[in-house]
Amino acid sequence: MAAQRVQPKLIIHGGAGSSLKGKGGVEIVRRSLHRVLEEVYPLLLSGATAQEAVVKGCQLLEDDPRFNAGTGSVLQSDGQIRMSAALMNGVAQRFSGVINVSRVQNPIRLALALQESPDRVLSDIGSTELLRELELPPYNPLTDIRLQEWMHERQENFEKQMAGVVAERELVEDSAGRGTIGVVVLDDQGRLAVGTSTGGKGFERIGRVSDSAMPAGNYATAQAAVSCTGIGEDIIDECLAARIVIRVVDGLPLREAFERSFKEAYQNQRDLGAIGLDATGAITWGKTSEVLLAAYHTGNAIGDTLEWEGTDLTDGISG
């Protein structure tokens, strides 16, 4: 018997960090995020699976040089780009990912290729080997703005702990931030999937591993799916994505699972954000950082969190 069709839902993020206000950033980021929603949501209406829509959304965000993933990734302390990405299929409850991969346009494609593999999380050497096997052409994701940002920080002896959340000339100088991209989808068969992709924190030491390719930063079951952004070490310490999802599996509504988890993260002085969906279609987001660059499609309307302010740590729309 065919599964009953449900209204697809989609939420994406392009990082979290300090405010973009007054820097010309809000409208630029809004356009970028809304464009992705406008391209991916119709695919869901045409029957794309949650996993297919997640991969497409991640590719589009990775290809946008503004965000710290794929093209436009930040440079590490040695001036190299190393990217990480993960994909989790909620129905199969199956995680796959790559850690610290270079010279590829879309790290999420490697995570997709690993979904059906017996070895599902690869580090740098394995990821490079996989790139070759898949015959993906070598690609340099470096942008001028990220190079300038790194050169500026080198002059300052890398005193800043992270690169800017969004790559914009007018934002580079003073935007301490925490960029990453993420996509969470509920498809018309009620299936959930999530993907997260990042260039890392920027200026980090060689070999540092991001939360984005761990269940701490990207996790899904049949009941809920969550993608995180922010300082990876803070996300790992909270085990945030898995923590929220497991709370839903144990019976808490998604919004309450976010509220409880973000209260704990705030008390622990973490700097992070997250987006999530559950199988009822509830859309939720949360942040302890100043701003969360997220946008969503409810099926009836598009909205975003770019100007979401106040003291609440979470917000959302019920299913």
Q: Which residues bind ligand GLY (CB under 6 A)?
A: 180, 198, 200-201, 210-212, 229-232, 235
Q: Among residues 97 and 200, whose Cβ is nearest to ligand GLY?
A: 200
The answer to whether the CB of 251 falls within 8 A of the CB of 288 is: no
Q: Among residues 191 and 201, whose Cβ is nearest to ligand GLY?
A: 201
Crossing angle of the two packed helices 240-249 and 254-267, in degrees rounded to 10: 140
For the record, the structure tokens of 109 come out as 């494609």
Could you tell me which residues come within 8 angstroms of residue 307 by beta carbon, excluding any fewer than 6 positions away?
Answer: 21, 26
Q: Among residues 216 and 224, whose Cβ is nearest to ligand GLY?
A: 216
Q: Whose CB is nearest to ligand GLY? A: 232
For the record, the structure tokens of 284 come out as 């939720």
The answer to whether the CB of 90 falls within 8 A of the CB of 193 is: yes
- Element at 141 (helix H, strand E): none
State the minimum distance, in angstroms, from the CB of residue 235 to ligand GLY.
6
State the minimum distance, in angstroms, from the CB of residue 197 to ligand GLY.
10
- Burial class from Cβ neighbours inside 10 Å (0-12, 13-18, 19+) for residue 267 reads exposed
Active site positions, annotated: 180
Cα angle for residues 240, 242, 248 (degrees, 5° grid): 105
Please tell me the number of Cα atoms within 13 Å of 189 on its side-chain side. 15
Query: Alpha-carbon Rg of the chain, whole angstroms?
Result: 18
Nearest to 33 by CA among 57, 54, 56, 9: 57
Could you tell me which residues come within 8 angstroms of residue 232 by beta carbon, excluding any fewer than 6 positions away?
Answer: 198, 200, 201, 209, 210, 211, 212, 217
State the minimum distance, in angstroms, from the CB of residue 270 to ligand GLY.
12
Q: Among residues 65 and 230, whose Cβ is nearest to ligand GLY?
A: 230
State the minimum distance, in angstroms, from the CB of residue 229 to ligand GLY.
6
Q: Among residues 190 and 232, whose Cβ is nearest to ligand GLY?
A: 232
State the minimum distance, in angstroms, from the CB of residue 215 to ligand GLY.
13
